Amino acid sequence: SIAEPKTFLVATESEMIHPLKKIAPQHEYIPVPGIMETTGETCACNRCPHMARNTLQKVRDCLKNGEPEIVWKDYFDDAKEVLERSLLK
């Protein structure tokens, strides 16, 4: 049930945490840091000014037209594994 308190990993802009808490305060929201391609260190991608450049219209157009193409990188598999483990706990 949505009313049951749950924990969510939020991999989006940091400004999303407050509205989520306001809408559904029974849940816990944990911001997820990104991983820097060049060093492998975590970064605050949820505070990245480039994240704010993504709009719903751009996401829609990307899904509709398949552009710009996302090129899969080897380290994406490692990140996917970590996320899947944390989500399946």
In a domain, 88, yes or no: no
Number of domains observed in the structure of the chain: 1
**Domain region containing 75:** 7-83
In a domain, 16, yes or no: yes
Side chain identity at residue 77, one-letter code: D
Kindly indicate the confidence band of residue 25, based on its pLDDT and cuts at 50, 70 and 90: very high
> Distance (Å, rounded) from C-alpha 83 to C-alpha 36?
16
In a domain, 89, yes or no: no
> Distance (Å, rounded) from C-alpha 73 to C-alpha 7?
29
Q: Mean pLDDT: which of 29-33, 49-53, 61-65 is highest?
A: 61-65
In a domain, 20, yes or no: yes
> Distance (Å, rounded) from C-alpha 34 to C-alpha 65?
26
Residue 11 has pLDDT above 80, yes or no: no
Task: Tell how far CA 59 is from the center of its chain.
Answer: 14
- Residue 54 has a pLDDT of 80
In a domain, 70, yes or no: yes
The dihedral through the CA atoms of 18, 85, 74, 59 has a sign that is: negative
- Residue 45 has a pLDDT of 60
75: left (phi over 0), alpha (psi -120 to 50) or beta: alpha
